[in-house]
């Protein structure tokens, strides 16, 4: 019986990726498991080189950017970014759209000045702020493209007059966009790229190496740029699984193919939420996430009954984040539309029973 994995992360991976990764965990080359191989060996070097190349190809970035495979999750980038590119007497601008940007703001204040240019906190982060002014004096502007907890997403990225930094942990590779306009893109892998344990950072080379402060070796982007993510032992197996996912992405139409795939899933699920009188969406319609669909029951006394019905249909991971409650269906790239249809059918049956 197929299990429909709606967890927000670590999240669903393509079945083909899981099969090949399982095989390589036992035997990759020369009779060794990939997990047993030195990170200095040619097979592992080839894995990193191909993964970096595929990321550049899929996102359309050139030699001005460097693809890095780091550790510490996206949360480590909250402080690595200002540590590396924000001087103590400089100011960074942040758009506060939820938990993760709030945490990033807190870390940035340790290294320089911070201006929160706009926030949606006044409505529990259920919308994306718009029409805010971006001062020319900013060292960079930091945005979070998708918010897993509340289910909002920036529908587009406008050109800005300052360097642009973006946390794309939960929607990278899910749609086409101009990656060249960003000075730093970072993402935890465990949504649309691979398993937990590796963090992707795409850094424009000319933004680093300009700080007067001393930066710890392992927290200095230059360290990892110069050593091609091999300064110390990197998370080799997670990067390999990322490579398999990247191959799958390319074979399935790249980011343009994913965008079409994700739009169809979002239309199906949001369509049922809007049609079904027992449910309602929690965010502004124009800012709805195509990755994390958050919704509530009009009568929350039936929450347990709906979860039980979903579990019976092998839909797992739809309980909302503990800070907001309700339900959240994460429909990342690897999820097939048939799994979304199963959840929609559960919602229809629930309406028949309780409507």
Is residue 213 within 8 A of residue 354, CB to CB? The reply is: no
Catalytic site includes residue 123? no
Contact partners, residue 147, CB within 8 Å, separation at least 6 = 97, 98, 99, 100, 101, 125, 153, 170, 289, 292
Catalytically annotated residue among 66, 191, 204, 319? 191
Q: Within a 10 A sphere around the Cβ of 211, how many other Cβ atoms?
A: 18
Catalytic site includes residue 265? no
Residues 73, 71: Cα–Cα separation, whole Å: 6
Compute CA 185 distance to the chain's CA centroid, rounded to the nearest angstrom.
Answer: 10
Catalytically annotated residue among 96, 100, 204, 290? 100
Catalytic site includes residue 191? yes
Catalytically annotated residue among 66, 96, 167, 265? 167
Indicate which residues carry an active-site annotation: 100, 167, 191
């Amino acid at each position: 019986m197929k299990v429909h994995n709606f967890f927000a992360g670590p999240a669903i991976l393509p079945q083909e990726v899981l099969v090949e990764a399982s095989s390589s965990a036992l035997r990759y080359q020369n009779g060794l498991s990939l997990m047993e191989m030195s990170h200095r060996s040619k097979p592992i070097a080839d894995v990193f080189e191909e993964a970096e190349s595929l990321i550049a190809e899929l996102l359309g970035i050139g030699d001005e950017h460097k693809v890095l495979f780091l550790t510490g999750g996206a949360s480590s980038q909250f402080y690595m970014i200002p540590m590396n590119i924000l001087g103590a007497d400089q100011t960074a601008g942040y758009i506060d759209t939820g938990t993760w940007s709030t945490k990033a703001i807190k870390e940035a204040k340790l290294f320089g000045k911070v201006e929160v240019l706009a926030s949606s906190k006044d409505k529990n982060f259920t919308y994306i702020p718009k029409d805010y002014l971006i001062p020319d004096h900013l060292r960079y502007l930091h945005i979070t493209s998708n918010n897993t907890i509340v289910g909002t997403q920036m529908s587009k990225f406008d050109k800005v007059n300052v360097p642009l930094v973006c946390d794309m942990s939960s929607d990278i590779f899910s749609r086409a966009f101009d990656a060249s306009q960003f000075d730093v893109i970072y993402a935890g892998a465990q949504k649309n790229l691979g398993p937990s344990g590796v963090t992707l950072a795409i850094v424009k080379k000319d933004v680093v190496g300009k700080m007067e402060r001393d930066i710890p070796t392992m927290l200095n982007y230059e360290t990892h740029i110069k050593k091609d993510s091999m300064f110390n032992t990197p998370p080799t197996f997670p990067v390999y699984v990322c490579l398999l996912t990247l191959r799958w992405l390319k074979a399935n139409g790249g980011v343009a193919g994913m965008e079409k795939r994700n739009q169809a899933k979002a239309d199906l699920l949001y369509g049922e939420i809007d049609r079904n009188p027992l449910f309602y969406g929690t965010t502004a319609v124009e800012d709805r996430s195509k990755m994390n669909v958050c919704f509530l029951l009009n009568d929350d006394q039936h929450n347990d009954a709906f979860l039980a019905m979903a579990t019976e249909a092998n839909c797992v991971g739809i309980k909302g984040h503990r800070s907001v409650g309700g339900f959240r269906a994460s429909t990342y790239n690897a999820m097939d539309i048939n799994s979304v249809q199963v959840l929609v059918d559960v919602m229809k049956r629930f309406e028949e029973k309780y409507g």
